[in-house]
Amino acid sequence: MLQNLEIEGVRLIYQLGWFSSGRDKAARDLLTTSYNSIQQGEIEAELSFVFCSREHGETKESDLFIKLVEDYNIPFACFSYQNFKKIRSEQNPNLNGPMPQWRLDYDREVMSRLQDYNPDLCVLAGYMLVTGHELCEKYDMINLHPAAPGGPTGTWQEVIWQLIDGQAKQTGVMMHLVTPELDKGPPVTYCTFSIRGEPFDRYWQEIEDVKPDSPEKRIARENLFKIIRKHGLAREFPLIIDTLKAFGEQKFKIINHRVFDAEGKSIMGYNLTADIDKRLEGIDLSTED
């Protein structure tokens, strides 16, 4: 795959593909933050295309996302996952299994619609689908996951509840290589932060001080949930930007679905905690709201 090669002394710009379901404001914010960083020269790359798994008219949020892509004049492709699933379900109501044939067929159609593009790297940014093995083989893809390497899997909501139920002391955010196994790809970059000490301890203590199964217990858990989410969310955008910046500067390479540093050494994730903490200096994250 093309990796910022030089041809006759001219460096080819690093090409990024962008996959999203466009389901909420966060999806738009992720795209806007990355687009602005590219326009400002912070990320040495360009957006080759944006793909959305929803089409015009499906939801208000995805329509806003599609309009944003159009306003940025980025090449765009879409293919409705829900409509495709509905058609296949009507044809065969016994669709089951973790990766049934119709899901692989959906991925093949996606690849067909993107055949004119040759991205160096694809970013899954709010793409709410598990990718099949063929799509993973076709593209080098990275995904944002709201936990540190080795941490809980699932959606960000599921991750936080697992942290609370397990009385975790630390969590983080990572960008990892995409594999067919959900959230199990090797880490590319990550940062960590403690969920003990200030401002977390009083929320943990509130949970301990109230009776089990009481309304107060639920409220205390929700308050802790909010503060953990706030600290994690504050790190997501900086981690994405720093990761894409590092790829654009060729600090990392992906070869045969493994991550290597600039010297060709295989690595299991690059710790960007210090860089992310520096970006967050002066930002008040002490309350859950």
Q: Cα dihedral angle (192, 200, 229, 282), rounded to 10 degrees?
A: -70
Rounded average pLDDT over 39-67: 95
pLDDT of residue 7: 46
Rounded average pLDDT over 254-274: 87
Share of the chain above pLDDT 70, in %: 92
Inform me whether the pLDDT recorded for 92 exceeds 70.
no
Instruction: Select the highest-mean-pLDDT range: 67-71, 216-220, 243-247.
Output: 67-71
User: 131-155 pLDDT, tens per residue?
Assistant: 888 998 899 999 999 999 999 988 8
pLDDT of residue 227: 96
Domains of the chain and CATH, by start: 1-129 (3.40.50.170), 148-289 (no CATH)
DSSP 117-172: ---SEEEESS--SPPPHHHHHHS-EEEEESS-TTS--SSHHHHHHHHHHTT-SEEE
pLDDT of residue 47: 96
pLDDT of residue 271: 92
Label residue 64 by pLDDT band (50, 70, 90): very high
> Which residues pair with residue 6 across a beta bridge?
11
Label residue 60 by pLDDT band (50, 70, 90): very high
Rounded average pLDDT over 185-195: 94
pLDDT of residue 61: 96
pLDDT of residue 1: 38
Look up the pTM and report it.
0.85
Cβ atoms within 10 Å of 134's Cβ, excluding its own: 13
Inform me whether the pLDDT recorded for 158 exceeds 70.
yes
Q: Are 169 and 184 in contact (CB under 8 A)?
A: no
Half-sphere exposure of 110 (CA within 13 A, CB side): 32
Rounded average pLDDT over 79-108: 79
Label residue 95 by pLDDT band (50, 70, 90): low
